[in-house]
Amino acid sequence: MSVPCSDLPEIVQPLENISIPVGSMASFSCAAIGNPVPTITWLFNSVVIPGATDSTYTVPTVAGSDAGTYTCVTTNIVGIAHQSATLTPICKPNPIQHHRFVIVYNYMLLLS
């Protein structure tokens, strides 16, 4: 009779920090191995994200409130492994308004 071996979960695809413009889509990927196959749970700023159990977690439209630390936690009966990365939303600059000025007989006129 053979006894099945068990292995600790191991994250084999490291998470990468993301800096992306507000309004864009951001995705974190986390690949893990282990025996038995580990389950995945995602955390945002140390709080479980309900329903986030796939190897990829996506923020469909990044907002300022999405800034923070995302953690992939992999678990099986043998143990746990985790890895974190940060999401940094980049604010789009406001369009610069260009104005033209004309001086006419010592008066300044604003042309828009």
Domains and CATH numbers, the chain: 7-92 (2.60.40.10)
* Neighbouring residues of 24: CB distance < 8 A, sequence distance ≥ 6: 61, 62
pLDDT of 2 > 60? The answer is no
Alpha-carbon distances of 59 from 14, 26, 52, 87, rounded to whole Å: 18, 5, 11, 10
Structure token digits, residue 66: 């999405």
Percent of the chain exceeding pLDDT 90 equals: 73
Q: What pTM was computed for the model?
A: 0.78
pLDDT of residue 96: 59
